[in-house]
Amino acid sequence: MDELVDAMTSLPLHPACLRVKGAAISPYEDPLHYPFALLTARIAAVGAHTVVTGLGGDEMVALTQEEYPHRAAGSMEDAESLPWTGHQVRWLSEFGDDGIAPPAAVNSMTLLSLESAAPVLLRAGLWPLHPFADADMVAFGEALPMDWRELKQLQRRRLASLGMSNDVTLPTERESFAEVVEHALIGHGTGLMRGMLRSGSALFEAGLVDPDGLRAGLEELNHVGYDEMRHSQLIEVIHLHLATAAYL
């Protein structure tokens, strides 16, 4: 039995979302909170008690910097280039790697994904299982030759061997929620940001977000157009603002 939620209809930042309604939802919880919570509720309603996810599958077969030189997404350099980044963030950025935990057996991005998904699932009474985050699976992925890892060839070939069509193994549509985030920001996010600028935010007071820079970013979004690499970061500002408002 399939359970489907159209995230383009049930957009993140929807007024009915618990996060937007003022519930004490951590900013680290799933960024697509509203559609994910709806889907989770539907799964629980049919009597499920466990959810097996694919989290960690991308990282398991990721190419190394030597194989594919690339800049890590979400770096502090990227954050500092955004106009709404507050002065405290810039000052604290040089201490970002001080006292951090040693590397884990599982990729840090996988751990962040597990952290963001778990609260929604557990709150609904569902126990999450993540096979690709198993230490043996991680080691297996690291041992694979590059040709098996590039473009997730191992998973694609496995699905093809099970009879899946090219629509599954080689989809033409981009595997991304980028459009969902874009429409959420333009559809609901602009009003939330205007509310921040009108009523104030603890983030302004703490120097974490610059209100003039946020106003400039909002103007860019409305009059220049959406830039995914730049404006998608605004959803994190909104999540942090909503969390501080709920907890404080």
Q: Give the tens place of pLDDT for each residue, 209-218.
A: 999 999 999 9
pLDDT for the residue numbered 91: 86
pLDDT for the residue numbered 101: 85
CB 27 within 8 A of CB 20: no
pLDDT digits (tens, 9 = 90+) for 66-124: 888 876 655 556 666 799 999 998 888 888 788 888 888 888 899 999 999 999 999 99
Q: Report d(CA 201, CA 242) in Å as an integer.
A: 9
Alpha carbon 229 to chain centroid distance? 13
What stretches in the chain show pLDDT beneath 70? 1, 71-80
pLDDT for the residue numbered 174: 77
pLDDT for the residue numbered 80: 67
pLDDT for the residue numbered 244: 96
Long-range contacts, 129-134 (Cβ 8 Å, 24+) = 129/50, 129/51, 129/52, 129/53, 130/52, 130/53, 130/55, 130/56, 131/52, 131/56, 132/54, 132/55, 132/56, 132/57, 132/59, 132/60, 133/55, 133/56, 133/106
pLDDT for the residue numbered 85: 93
Q: Which residues pair with 52 in a beta bridge?
A: 129
